[in-house]
Structure 1
Amino acid sequence: MTSAQPAAHPAPTASPARAPAAQDDSVAALHALVLQSLDDDQAQEMVTIPLEGKSSIADHMVIASGRSSRQVATMAQKLAERIKRETGRIARIEGLPVADWVLVDAGDVIVHLFRPEVRSFYNLERMWGFVDDAPGAVAN
């Protein structure tokens, strides 16, 4: 008769929900998706502001203009639909009724879509230190 020995169990390994490299790839893919969607919808004067290390709200802020309130609203809705379809994320949208300034919050990427006059009034690029990249900005 042989005695039964307990089966050896391998030590549990910690597997992070999201490895840092996978997270970086995910953020980069989301950022590329946002830029491609806006480009497809003929957004004007797109600017990306890297926020990683500057703010905890997101890793990237994208600012773009549309020619009219209708175009701004359409770009925001299409962007949110594309993000959901391709990543499974639900992007929140603020400002659609008037569509002078629409915010699309996709988590790691925040998108501000403006009519040109409203964009120049608020001048977010300057607030975040991107004066040289701002539309119509003059370098000192």
Structure 2
Amino acid sequence: MKNVFVLLLGFFLLISCEKEGELTRKSLENSTIGSTAILKYSGEFSPTSGINVSGFAKVYLENNEYKVKLEDIIISDGPDLKVYLSKENTPINFVNLGNFKGNGNTFYTIPTSVNVSEYQYVLIHCQEFNHLFAIAPLTSI
């Protein structure tokens, strides 16, 4: 019985880990927002239970390209953290923008095929253990 449980748990963990798809983009580690960028959406991160977080998610439009900036973010450590642009405040209907690159300021491009106005949240999610770390509800500027 114990072996069956271990097998089922391993199988569940395997199928619950989403692979990065076609829409996933690498963060723009050395990027900045230019003087022509327009701030379109902004939100402050709030934690889920057991997590400490502070900072902001900001969505800019620059040269017909949307970018997410995680600004002044400080979050509890966790494995396999991803940044999602999501339609809900849970990781159900989302675009995986890439790996969380650490505390501070980080930029991510949003694929041009994504209608940004349909996405109201930026999430930080532990993909490996399917645990939501932080939620930033976006409001239009």
Do both proteins adopt the same fold according to a TM-score greater than 0.5, normalized to the shorter chain? Answer: no
- RCO higher in structure (CA 8 A, sep ≥6): 2
Larger helix proportion of the pair: 1
Which TM-score applies when normalising by structure 2? 0.28
- Hey, which of these two has a bigger chunk of strand by percent? 2
